[in-house]
Amino acid sequence: MRGTLYVVGTGPGGPQQMTPEALDAVSKATEFFGYGPYLDRLSLRPDQTRIASDNREELDRAQAALARSASGVDVCVVSGGDPGVFAMAAAVCEAIDAGPPEWRDLDLVVTPGVTAMLAVAARIGAPLGHDFCAISLSDNLKPWEVITRRLRLVAEAGLVIALYNPISKARPWQLGQAFDILRTVLPASTPVIFGRAAGRPDERMTVMPLAEADPAVADMATCVVIGSALTRIIARPGRPDLVYTPRFISGESQ
């Protein structure tokens, strides 16, 4: 007898942003694999077991979860945000692809969630209102030259850019270099949003022009959104500014 393998996203933080579908999957599983702070977001029953592991051990975690599921346990792999965006759904697929044939015969259920850039965008207006991209700035899993080439091309394409994993203790300089590259393509006034912990009690939203964008504002809980040349700021007396990207591009403003 095989178990079901659920891969769920908790949303950006607060329980108010986790879907009923994901909560339902959580209620059905008995063993939970994930990074500790994400597991902390769940309210588990006494008969449900946590197996917490380090943030960097995604493939090991996926393999352990698949092995338990293959032995008949209903397992839940937990990501923050959406499990399909720079998270555990891909790690589980990688493990299946390279693993024993019986892992292909498991019931795999991935439930989507609200990913960080959407939560940040909602708190500040609508910066992702037109074409945009999501790029991980971590060079643990890809060469830095791939990242810098991608940044140049998407900025030239006019896309708004959401940067995931912008900075960490082990990667302190990459975000500053990314801003330097983008300054060669985008106007100095382009809005940069540092969206920290969107939807959580320690949320902090900071907006500054690209010319002054300071990498030190970001930490591991930050999603950085860099506007396009068309992204606009609406000043609101007594209220935070709104930042949005119009839905339209006229023939003259390409």
Q: Which 185-214 positions form the footprint of a copy of itself (CB under 8 A)?
A: 199
Of 56, 71, 146, 208, the one binding a copy of itself (CB under 8 A) is 146
Burial profile 180-217: b = 16 or more Cβ within 10 angstroms, e = fewer: ebbeebbeeebbbbbbbbbbeeebebbbeebeebebeb
Of 43, 47, 143, 201, the one binding a copy of itself (CB under 8 A) is 143
Going by C-alpha positions, the residue among 140, 130, 191, 129 that lies closest to residue 164 is: 140
Of 2, 41, 123, 204, the one binding a copy of itself (CB under 8 A) is 123
Of 126, 185, 217, 229, the one binding a copy of itself (CB under 8 A) is 126
Output the smallest distance, CB 39 to a copy of itself, in A. 20
Using CB under 8 A as the binding criterion, the count of chain residues that bind a copy of itself stands at 82
Residue 69 within binding range of a copy of itself, rule CB under 8 A: no
Distance of CA 47 to the CA centre of its chain: 30
Residue 217 within binding range of a copy of itself, rule CB under 8 A: no
Residue 247 within binding range of a copy of itself, rule CB under 8 A: yes
Output the smallest distance, CB 62 to a copy of itself, in A. 10
The interface with a copy of itself within residues 20-39 (CB under 8 A) comprises 20-21, 24
Specify whether the CB–CB gap between 123 and 205 falls below 8 A: yes
Q: Which is nearer to a copy of itself, 39 or 225 (CB)?
A: 225
Piece of 26-34, 35-43, 48-56, 154-162 that binds a copy of itself (CB under 8 A): 154-162
Tokens of 85: 């965006």
d(CA 234, CA 236): 6
Q: Give me the residue label for tokens 């079901």.
A: 4
Output the smallest distance, CB 229 to a copy of itself, in A. 12
Of 64, 135, 223, 224, the one binding a copy of itself (CB under 8 A) is 135
Amino acid of residue 58: E
Specify whether the CB–CB gap between 208 and 192 falls below 8 A: yes
Distance of CA 1 to the CA centre of its chain: 34
Of 71, 104, 211, 220, the one binding a copy of itself (CB under 8 A) is 104
Q: Which is nearer to a copy of itself, 16 or 216 (CB)?
A: 16
The interface with a copy of itself within residues 42-61 (CB under 8 A) comprises 58
Whole-number Cα distances in Å, 158 to 31, 43, 155, 183, 208: 44, 42, 5, 13, 19
d(CA 81, CA 37): 12
d(CA 40, CA 26): 13
Of 51, 67, 122, 217, the one binding a copy of itself (CB under 8 A) is 122
